[in-house]
């Protein structure tokens, strides 16, 4: 396959077009740049935006990591990693530290990223105002006028009705005090890590939008003074590595209500176990890395 297609699948003209959109996005943090998204050999909604952005960023010297739900071994992450192994021939890794480009769906790695890294998000609906106003023609004007009243009313109504803001993922943020941005469906626990040393790029293929956060960009989760933003997580330590500061998956272990909580970031969890951290249900030491 790598012989029949160009490096990283897309032709150079298309990559150039995407890079222009990325540069524009970096110049206007949080602004959604329209781009002529291509049809990819994987379905829309399955990461075609992220794949196009990754394809435009990759060089032969890069090391790529792909995660979905924080894990390297979920089916779609495997499929996308395989796609780039075949079409770009780049090195791949499961280690957050060793990766130069990380494509992700729904999580930000636990480990702080560095200035030498690019984090690429797969975005289903880039428009944070979409569920308040379905028309693109309207939402573009709202962004242009910085008219975010509707969003604040929504958050206020949440508090009035439920006692708190009823958004647990894709929690809206404001970038450099200008654009309200959808951080993609990451849990709100991850929102504080949107302020990062790495370049963060967001690709929405079906919706034909790219947006970006340059390193160290100010990213504030929307809230009210008397109802401050709360990046909540399950109130448990990880059953495998014992971490009490990571985002956890809840795993059903039997049909009697048994459950356990484990790190969603599998690389971070296994690294901690290798360093000797043990949770309540950790396997014996020698098996931990198998």
Partner 1 sequence: MYVAVKGGEKAIDNAHSWLAEERRGDVAVPDLTVDQIREQMALAVHRVMAEGSLYDPDLAALAIKQARGDLIEAIFLIRAYRTTLPRLGHSRPIETDDMACDRRISATFKDLPGGQVLGPTFDYTHRLLDFKLAAEGEALADTAPIAPVDQAPMPRVTEFLNRDGLIQTEQASDATPPDMTRAPMAYPAGRPLRLQALSRGDEGFLLGMAYSSQRGYARNHPFVGELRIGKVPVSMEIPELGFDIEIGEITVTECETVNQFAGSKTEPAQFTRGYGLVFGQTERKAISMALVDRALRWQELGEDNVGAPAQDEEFVISHSDNIQATGFLEHIKLPHYVDFQSELELVRRMRLAAGADEVKEAAE
Single out the residue of 16, 82, 97, 152 in contact with partner 1 (rule: CB under 8 A).
82
Active site residue 57: no
Is 45 a residue that touches partner 1 (CB under 8 A)? yes
Question: Among residues 178 and 233, whose Cβ is nearest to partner 1?
Answer: 233
Stretch that binds partner 1, among 56-64, 89-97, 184-192, 195-203 (CB under 8 A): 184-192
Report CA 102 to chain centroid distance, whole Å.
Answer: 9
Stretch that binds partner 1, among 90-98, 109-117, 205-213, 216-224 (CB under 8 A): 205-213
Q: How far is the CB of 116 from partner 1 (least distance, A)?
A: 26
Active site residue 241: yes
Is 1 a residue that touches partner 1 (CB under 8 A)? no
The radius of gyration of the chain's CA atoms, rounded to the nearest angstrom, is 20
Q: Quote the CA–CA distance of 179 and 143 in Å, as a whole number.
A: 7
Stretch that binds partner 1, among 55-63, 158-166, 174-182, 219-227 (CB under 8 A): 158-166
Active site residue 269: yes
Which residues are tagged catalytic? 30, 238, 241, 263, 269
User: Which residues are near partner 1 by CB under 8 A?
Assistant: 5, 9, 11, 34-41, 43-46, 48, 68-71, 73-79, 82, 105-107, 124, 135-137, 162-164, 166, 168-170, 185-189, 206, 208-209, 232-234, 239-240, 247-251, 253, 260, 262, 264, 266, 281, 283
């Amino acid at each position: 396959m790598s012989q029949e297609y160009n490096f990283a699948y897309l032709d150079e003209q298309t990559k150039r077009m995407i890079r222009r959109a990325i540069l524009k996005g970096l110049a206007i943090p949080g602004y959604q740049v329209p781009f002529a998204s291509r049809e990819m050999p994987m379905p829309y909604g399955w990461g075609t935006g992220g794949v196009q952005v990754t394809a435009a960023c990759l060089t032969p010297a890069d090391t790529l990591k792909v995660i979905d739900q924080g894990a390297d071994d979920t089916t779609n992450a495997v499929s996308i990693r395989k796609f780039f192994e075949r079409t770009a021939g780049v090195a791949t890794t499961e280690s957050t530290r060793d990766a130069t480009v990380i494509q992700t769906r729904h999580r930000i790695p636990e480990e702080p990223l560095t200035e030498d890294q690019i984090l690429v998000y797969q975005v289903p609906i880039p428009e944070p105002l979409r569920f308040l106003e379905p028309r693109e023609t309207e939402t573009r004007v709202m962004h242009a006028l910085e008219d975010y009243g509707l969003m604040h009313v929504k958050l206020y109504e949440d508090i009035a009705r439920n006692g708190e803001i009823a958004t647990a993922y894709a929690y809206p943020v404001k970038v450099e005090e200008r654009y309200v941005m959808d951080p993609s469906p990451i849990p709100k626990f991850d929102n504080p890590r949107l302020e990062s040393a790495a370049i963060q790029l967001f690709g929405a293929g079906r919706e034909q939008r790219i947006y970006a956060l340059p390193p160290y960009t100010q990213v504030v989760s929307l809230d009210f003074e008397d109802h401050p933003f709360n990046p909540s997580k399950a109130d448990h330590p990880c059953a495998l590595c014992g971490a009490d500061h990571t985002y956890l998956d809840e795993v059903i272990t039997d049909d009697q209500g048994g459950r356990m909580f484990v790190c969603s970031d599998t690389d971070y969890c296994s690294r901690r176990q290798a360093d000797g951290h043990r949770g309540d249900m950790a396997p014996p030491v020698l098996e931990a890395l198998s």
